[in-house]
Structure 1
Amino acid sequence: MRLKGLFVAAAAGALLAGAGIVSALAATGDGSPGDANIAFVGRWDRSNASAYVPNWAGAYLRTGFTGTTVKLKQRNAIDLYYSIDGGSVQYIQNVSGTVNLTPSALPSGNHTLLVSYRVVAGSYSGDAVFQGLVLDSGARTLPANVSPKLVEFVGDSITVGTTSSKNALTAYGWLTGEQLGVRHTQIGYGGGCLVATADGCVSVASQFLKTGYSATSANWDFTRYTADAVVINLGTNDKSHGVSSADFQNGYVAFLKTVRGKYPNAAIFALETFSKRYAAETQAAVTTQNGAGDRNIYYVNTEGWLPSDGLSDSVHPNDKGHQAITAKLAPIVAAKLTTTTSPSPTTAGPSPTASRTPTGSTPPPTGTCKVAYKITNQWAGGFGGDVTITNLGSPITAWTLGWTFASGQSVTQAWNATVTQSGTTVTAKNVSYNGAIATGGTAGFGFNGAWTTTNPVPTAFTLNGTACTTS
């Protein structure tokens, strides 16, 4: 009877698998779509348990895995991006079947994987369907290391990343999320409007409620994730479709109410469009909701964010433009993600005092500063770092932090600070919005770096020429 029961169970499992109902039978670690070790970030259609479909530009998956190789099971031809062990993003085109992501075998051990399917202005280039991973014999997936916080970016082709080098992955939403170390997703539609128009402009505000960009897409299940912050950048396209100022403002108020209804505790940021279209109406919509009692919605003035060479055409930012936007936006979002005080209605952004940094620096008294240096991620030849300065002395209005690297270590990219290096000596200076540090206050910045032989943590730091303790 026991043997018969085993046969019955096996047969039932085969029938369920044949019907596409495999998530209940998926084993953690097996690399199937239902594997709990794979984190699917963003809006994924899981109605077919054996084939998950990512929707919108910002959807991606992360997981860890053991062994020396990893392959991706694809249904039909697709273009996609992937990164292994935090390395540079690779782009492969027109691949299908069992796609080998490790043509050169990796060192035996634990690894990480990120996969994002290419989305171009709201439509997929190819068949974006994830059917699982193929690993070495005896290998398994490992839990993905993802933040509990999530930021959702809502917009049009600018949010999608159209005309930037890697589309969504080089757009300001993706860059901001990565810089903040949080999960992130981009709900963007090329050519989309805030308000649906008679000539066919799609309302992104309406599609925000959907699993995907298609008009026939199923309603999204908002219990699947909760955003801690939402960044809205809409209005660039409405003007050319004849949307009146009154209709736009009313539509924006309605959309803010919709977002608040889905994410009761999220900080909501309404960006002034980079083309300055409907700026007054956007700000008025925020003011209306602030006046109605929602004090966690912020209008973000984007004047001066884009450099003169930051556009690839008359509308879309290029890579430099998206990086410039990120440098301004990331600290604004970060401040509301980490705040523990009651929010107040305001125009979000650095305070006027913080934006006027004197050219000189005020040294703190000896022994009154502390530095926390953390390696956030490391891979062959590269790493990510995070530095937090705590001022334990008198208030300062500008800061310069110095330390010495070991031979072979270098900073390759930084944010929230201007970092230079001469030999092994590294100097980090505040940027316009984070120079002032009150007594007991902190300032932080992050960077990516390179290393050769070893990657030790520095043990000696100076703030404005005075030695600091480390933690």
Structure 2
Amino acid sequence: MRLRTMLTAVLLTLGVLAVPAPALAAGEPTDTNIEYEGRWSGAYVPQWAGAYLRVGFTGTSVALKQRGTIDFWYSIDGGAYTKATNVSGTVNLTPVRLAVGQHSLLVSYRIVAGSYTGDAVFQGLTLDAGANTYKLPKPAKGVEFVGDSITAGYTATNMALSAYPWIIGENLGVSHTQIALSGACLRELTAAQSTRGIRCYGLENRYTKTGFQDGAADWNFGRYQPAVVVVNIGTNDSGHGVNSADFRTGYTNLLRIVREKNPNARILALRIFKGSWAAETRQSVLDRQAAGDTKVTYVDSTGWWDGATMSGDGTHPNDYGHRVLAGKLQPFVSAALAS
């Protein structure tokens, strides 16, 4: 026995025998059964709005391990979304135990931006003793929505989860994410360049980044490739004094960047719901088509918006408004997915 042990040690030292990799604990952030949808940093922090994780698990309970205080929403077995507010540590998601069997979990964090300073570091799940995770079926296609507070779900009950992109994605059974930020512009503006005297984060420059923050790392577009990208941006540029020529230049450039990073995607350039920049948006699409991009389309949203019933402030959709807009836009997204 001693001779065998010594021989094994020698072979391991020489690299003749491979050391098996330790099994990853079920529910740890590195668990390959957990699907991270949207843009997440390497530290398991969701970026932008509408990123989420989903996983299957066995047993009768599940808890989320959270480093610091945060708001998030979760759904178990496809049920209604429950909001957890200002929670940290080990957060029990099943105060009433589930039936024994297989279950599914979806978790989406509130985006950490503006005045909100939560700690969105996912540190894993706690399951019953002997329980395991399993991989849920992954949708064959995905849709990415690019925009500002309207796309992010600002003022909606469940924010990103109540917004038109999330509704469309869930209705169509596809992966979906919102590369969106409240207050975002198309053009990147310093305080000196803005007529409001405040800076504006520009998606033209930041679309290629993992997050919106200054110094954010470049996103690895090999992580996922959406079948459709919907662009809905420009509401804030008007208030910051962007002129027509600059907007058209920036929009054409954004469409070029989206195409470069997603070579096979259908791109839908949406007339923003209140109608600003309609001519410039349409012309940018024509410019890209003239440059040889045959998979970019202008979507005319004329007649979709009624601020009196669809918004509490005249600009940001309420829950009803998001449902109406989702119903209007969904056929265009569905057709793009099928083409």
What's the TM-score once normalised by structure 2's chain length?
A: 0.90
In 1: Cα distance, 2:117 partner to 2:268 partner: 30
Residue of structure 2 equivalent to 1:44: 40
What letter matches 1:61 in structure 2?
A: L
Residue of structure 1 equivalent to 2:50: 58
In structure 2, relative to structure 1, the CA distance for the partners of 1:26 and 1:168 (3 Å cut) is: farther
Q: Are the equivalent residues in 2 in contact too, given 1:164–1:319 (CA < 8 A)?
A: yes
In structure 2, relative to structure 1, the CA distance for the partners of 1:3 and 1:240 (3 Å cut) is: farther
Q: Are the equivalent residues in 1 in contact too, given 2:274–2:305 (CA < 8 A)?
A: no
When the two chains are superposed, the root-mean-square deviation of aligned CA atoms in Å is 1.8
Query: Per-residue displacement from partner, 1:149-176 (whole Å, max 9, x unpaired)?
Result: 1111000011110001100000111111
* Alpha-carbon offset, residue 306 of structure 1: 2.5
In 2: Cα distance, 1:303 partner to 1:317 partner: 16
What letter matches 1:75 in structure 2?
A: R
Structure 2 residue matching 1:211: 3-state secondary structure: coil
Q: Which sections of structure 1, spanning at least 5 residues, go unmatched? A: 10-23, 340-471
Structure 1 residue matching 2:48: 3-state secondary structure: strand
* Alpha-carbon offset, residue 219 of structure 1: 0.9
Greater shift, 253-262 or 140-149, is seen at: 140-149
In 2: Cα distance, 1:39 partner to 1:310 partner: 34
- Is 1:290 aligned with 2:289? yes
Structure 1 residue matching 2:310: 3-state secondary structure: coil
| Alignment partner of 1:137 out of 100, 123, 129 | 129
In 2: Cα distance, 1:26 partner to 1:57 partner: 32
What letter matches 1:315 in structure 2?
A: T
Q: Are the equivalent residues in 2 in contact too, given 1:79–1:125 (CA < 8 A)?
A: no
In 2: Cα distance, 1:314 partner to 1:265 partner: 36
Residue of structure 2 equivalent to 1:390: none
* Alpha-carbon offset, residue 3 of structure 1: 6.7
In structure 2, relative to structure 1, the CA distance for the partners of 1:25 and 1:194 (3 Å cut) is: farther
In structure 2, relative to structure 1, the CA distance for the partners of 1:25 and 1:332 (3 Å cut) is: farther
Residue of structure 1 equivalent to 2:140: 148
Query: Per-residue displacement from partner, 1:389-445 (whole Å, max 9, x unpaired)?
Result: xxxxxxxxxxxxxxxxxxxxxxxxxxxxxxxxxxxxxxxxxxxxxxxxxxxxxxxxx
* Alpha-carbon offset, residue 146 of structure 1: 2.4
| Alignment partner of 1:73 out of 65, 71, 75 | 65
In 2: Cα distance, 1:136 partner to 1:33 partner: 17
Rg larger in 1 or in 2?
1
Q: Are the equivalent residues in 1 in contact too, given 2:166–2:177 (CA < 8 A)?
A: yes
Residue of structure 1 equivalent to 2:168: 176
Structure 2 residue matching 1:317: 3-state secondary structure: coil
In structure 2, relative to structure 1, the CA distance for the partners of 1:112 and 1:122 (3 Å cut) is: farther
In structure 2, relative to structure 1, the CA distance for the partners of 1:121 and 1:325 (3 Å cut) is: farther
In structure 2, relative to structure 1, the CA distance for the partners of 1:125 and 1:114 (3 Å cut) is: farther
Q: Are the equivalent residues in 2 in contact too, given 1:149–1:228 (CA < 8 A)?
A: yes
In structure 2, relative to structure 1, the CA distance for the partners of 1:124 and 1:183 (3 Å cut) is: farther
What's the TM-score once normalised by structure 1's chain length?
A: 0.65
* Alpha-carbon offset, residue 123 of structure 1: 6.7
Structure-to-structure mapping, 1:36-435, within 5 angstroms = 36-46=32-42, 48=43, 52-119=44-111, 125-197=117-189, 198-199=193-194, 200-307=199-306, 308-339=308-339
Extract structure 1 runs of 4+ deviating beyond 6 A.
1-6
In structure 2, relative to structure 1, the CA distance for the partners of 1:73 and 1:230 (3 Å cut) is: same
In structure 2, relative to structure 1, the CA distance for the partners of 1:244 and 1:290 (3 Å cut) is: same
* Alpha-carbon offset, residue 119 of structure 1: 2.2
In structure 2, relative to structure 1, the CA distance for the partners of 1:75 and 1:236 (3 Å cut) is: same
Query: Per-residue displacement from partner, 1:245-281 (whole Å, max 9, x unpaired)?
Result: 0010011111111000000110001110112111100
In structure 2, relative to structure 1, the CA distance for the partners of 1:212 and 1:124 (3 Å cut) is: farther
* Alpha-carbon offset, residue 226 of structure 1: 0.6
Q: Are the equivalent residues in 1 in contact too, given 2:112–2:120 (CA < 8 A)?
A: no
More strand as a share of residues: 1
Q: Percent identity?
A: 52
Q: Are the equivalent residues in 1 in contact too, given 2:112–2:118 (CA < 8 A)?
A: no
Q: Are the equivalent residues in 2 in contact too, given 1:122–1:189 (CA < 8 A)?
A: no
Kindly indicate whether structure 1 or structure 2 has the higher relative contact order, using CA contacts under 8 Å at least 6 residues apart: 2
Q: Are the equivalent residues in 2 in contact too, given 1:44–1:54 (CA < 8 A)?
A: yes
In 2: Cα distance, 1:108 partner to 1:185 partner: 32
Q: Are the equivalent residues in 2 in contact too, given 1:58–1:174 (CA < 8 A)?
A: yes
In 1: Cα distance, 2:23 partner to 2:124 partner: 11
In structure 2, relative to structure 1, the CA distance for the partners of 1:38 and 1:100 (3 Å cut) is: same
In structure 2, relative to structure 1, the CA distance for the partners of 1:34 and 1:209 (3 Å cut) is: same
What letter matches 1:129 in structure 2?
A: V
In structure 2, relative to structure 1, the CA distance for the partners of 1:121 and 1:320 (3 Å cut) is: farther
In structure 2, relative to structure 1, the CA distance for the partners of 1:25 and 1:244 (3 Å cut) is: farther
